[in-house]
Amino acid sequence: MAIANYQLPTKLTFYPSYLQYAYAAGLMKGVDFQTQNETTEEDIYKLVVVDPSTTSKFEFSENDFIGFGLRYTKIWNFDFGMILGHDLLESNMFLKPSMYNIEDNEIVFDQEIDTTTIVNWTGMGMVNYNGWSAFNVSNLPDDKRNIGLNCTNDGGTVNIGTYIIGKKWEAPQNIDLQTSLSYNYGYKQKKSIGGKTLSQMNYYKQSKWLLDAWELDDSESDKRHRETESRNGLRTWTATWSFLQDKYGMPQNSMQNSNGWSVDSGSEYSTGADGTSLYNSSEGIDFYTSVIKTTMGGHLPVVIRISESNNPDQWAIVRIKKYSISQKSPKFVDIKLTLEEQV
């Protein structure tokens, strides 16, 4: 029997932004773009920050693009993308994620990325609503360096808050039942000399993303929900996985390659036919490599889905405020998290 979670998390999935991590870690060498308006590099860089409340406006014609150059070639293992804080329906814009090279000072898009819907997306890059979109990506080449978005129809003017592409980490098991949820309203209180309580409200909900955060709507962005009240309060969750297999909690090989690496006697590792480690510091299936590393331990925000439902209220942008990994039995670990929704 299915059980509604009412905002209590059940099975967590993390959607870290590789572009945000690359920018913070110095792995992004620059940006490229071709638009019809006076786009600046700052406008492009703003898109990698997972804060859709700050949008950039772009005017595209067919085949115009925005792109992010990376410093090294890797086998791309990305499996999802997101565009947060957009008015793609209103602008009648078709955008497709893409990978490109620069050849003879020209941008060359020579292979499209295939996409399928998660929320508010079609394989052609169309949407049903303004607000935000999430999609699966596949068919990524293994020799391209740069990641972009390009216009595949006649174009128009569109607002975009954040562009995310990366590899998700879906927990292999549900979290423990002993979870908690609280709502933060960002106020501070003090008592006056006469005993009255004085309260100062600094914030009480997420900032707007053109629409309210995580809302989907076919109305124009400047006419959004003025007649209704939006959700307020910032959510904070505590979550624990007990008896999680150690290979899902910690890296098998935290180095960049397998040079000098060998299987320890009596240990269980995932290895290739040549005995080298299948997983390294960038190709891991564990929570640390996939989430903690790419968020720099909570320095960077990350998108999460708190259940297996794709309903818009099941998503959040959080920072990992606290985490710990402990071992209580051989080959199994406990992971404890505090996830704080961001303004």
Q: Which of 27-31, 72-76, 269-273 has the highest mean pLDDT?
A: 27-31
Helix, strand or coil, per DSSP, at residue 119: strand
Given this model, what pLDDT does residue 70 score?
83
Q: Which of 7, 2, 4, 1 is nearest to 179 (CA)?
A: 7
Phi, psi of 46 (to 5 degrees): -60, -30
Phi, psi of 288 (to 5 degrees): -60, -55
Distance from C-alpha of 213 to C-alpha of 312, rounded to nearest angstrom: 9
> Which domains occur in the chain, in start order?
13-170 (2.60.120.260)
Distance from C-alpha of 101 to C-alpha of 94, rounded to nearest angstrom: 21
Q: Mean pLDDT, the chain, as a whole number?
A: 89
Distance from C-alpha of 251 to C-alpha of 289, rounded to nearest angstrom: 6
Phi, psi of 185 (to 5 degrees): -115, 10
Question: What percent of the chain has a predicted confidence (pLDDT) above 90?
Answer: 64
Given this model, what pLDDT does residue 328 score?
82
Given this model, what pLDDT does residue 183 score?
95
* C-alpha angle 161-153-310 in degrees, rounded to nearest 5: 45
At residue 74, does pLDDT exceed 70? Answer: no
Helix, strand or coil, per DSSP, at residue 241: strand
pTM of the model: 0.92
Given this model, what pLDDT does residue 3 score?
63
Burial string for 157-176 (b: 16+ CB within 10 Å, else e) reads ebbbbbbbbbbbbebeeebe
Contacting residues for 27 by C-beta, under 8 A, at least 6 apart: 21, 70, 71, 72
Q: Where are the alpha helices (DSSP H) in the chain?
A: 18-24, 41-46, 88-91, 246-249, 287
Given this model, what pLDDT does residue 64 score?
92
Given this model, what pLDDT does residue 104 score?
81
Beta bridge partners of 132: 84
Given this model, what pLDDT does residue 58 score?
96
Helix, strand or coil, per DSSP, at residue 198: strand
Q: Which of 112-126, 130-144, 240-254, 296-310 has the highest mean pLDDT?
A: 296-310
Q: What is the mean pLDDT of residues 183-193?
A: 93
Given this model, what pLDDT does residue 198 score?
94
